[in-house]
Structure 1
């Protein structure tokens, strides 16, 4: 097939949004609904990736397993969250998608929602029981991800859903270290207002205060000293 992403026709139909062809395909051979391709992806993975809600709904109503992992251990929910597909995330959750599945990097869907600033998706995940303090293979939490990017509303949301501010990643950095290093001024202020310590040392024996550039250090000290 031209411009094909997969060695399976049904997966290419799912990715291209060719609903009628996909439906015909599956109704003539039900096993194709869950057949996996060269990346160990099913039609559901590809429909989530391209954002074809109608196809996702059809496959879910057809009874396709919602938590299947591809060769990098991504579930359909990882893919939909990372690609910013709000409606599809809602549909997957309503069909019982696991909220904290981890892929090869140890990341959950919430990690991707946090780093890519997918606010509505992060909210859905958290309201349905996703763990805000889950750590990936580098011991990064979703809060680390959001803080490094300066995703202000997402940081607010994670803090409201009891994300812990002082968890250290494998380099010893807290979310505040990352916000200061990237000069995310508003994010850094918000974290300190919610109890992030300016004095925790990372593996290089640097505190967030030492990493803060320009006037940021003074601002953060002022918040702490009240």
Structure 2
């Protein structure tokens, strides 16, 4: 019966077309029992599709908390990167799946892992104003809050540019620097015209 379920999930896409296998689809759908069944019957837990996505990345992006727990328990590599250099933690942070962010970090996901554009999970969360995802990242003593991406932007630059007031507040409370310049020679505050953000930064410097 389980095999039949696998065949019905995505009947128009074959492994040859996407590089995805039943375990990828099971992880995406949050089908814990089937994920366990497939791994027990030999499915490689870290098998990547054509774009380098592992089943754990897919589950993390889709918000499948219990599947993430299960796959980590079965030995999934939390720091695998896909073709864009993105990690499971980066996807969870980008989607504001804060429970999954915490699970991954509690299992030694690299909080400072950078993608091909130099962005970290904190860059992604800060740019979208994903406060709940930012909190466990910033509370981690391994977090390098001022890392710069390929354009020289820190997470604070991106939060300011996108006018994410609460994200800016949180970053400043955790020691984000307002003095770092990006490759355009702009500080984070020069990336925004938002009066509330400028007032907040001024108060932080007092």
- TM-score scaled to structure 1, two decimals? 0.83
The alpha carbon displacement at 1:17 in A equals 5.9
Which deviates more from structure 2 when the two are superposed, residues 208-217 or residues 184-193?
208-217
CA distance in 1, matches of 2:97, 2:7: 22
Count of equivalent residues: 199
CA distance in 2, matches of 1:75, 1:130: 15
Name the larger-Rg structure: 1
Partner residue of 1:133 out of 112, 119, 123: 112
CA distance in 1, matches of 2:190, 2:20: 46
Partner residue of 2:172 out of 183, 186, 192: 192
CA distance in 1, matches of 2:175, 2:8: 47
Moved over 6 A (4+): none
- 1:14 corresponds to 2:6: yes
Which residue in 2 is equivalent to 1:95? 74
- 1:202 corresponds to 2:194: no
- 1:220 corresponds to 2:201: yes
SS in 2 for 1:55: helix
Partner residue of 1:50 out of 25, 29, 33: 29
* Aligned ranges 1:1-226 → 2 under 5 Å: 13-14=5-6, 16=8, 36-162=15-141, 163-212=143-192, 213-225=194-206
CA distance in 1, matches of 2:197, 2:50: 43
Aligned-residue CA RMSD in angstroms?
A: 1.8
Q: Which runs of 5+ in 2 are unaligned?
A: none
CA distance in 1, matches of 2:41, 2:163: 48
The alpha carbon displacement at 1:61 in A equals 2.1
User: Which structure has more RCO (C-alpha within 8 Å, separation ≥ 6)?
Assistant: 2
The alpha carbon displacement at 1:38 in A equals 2.2
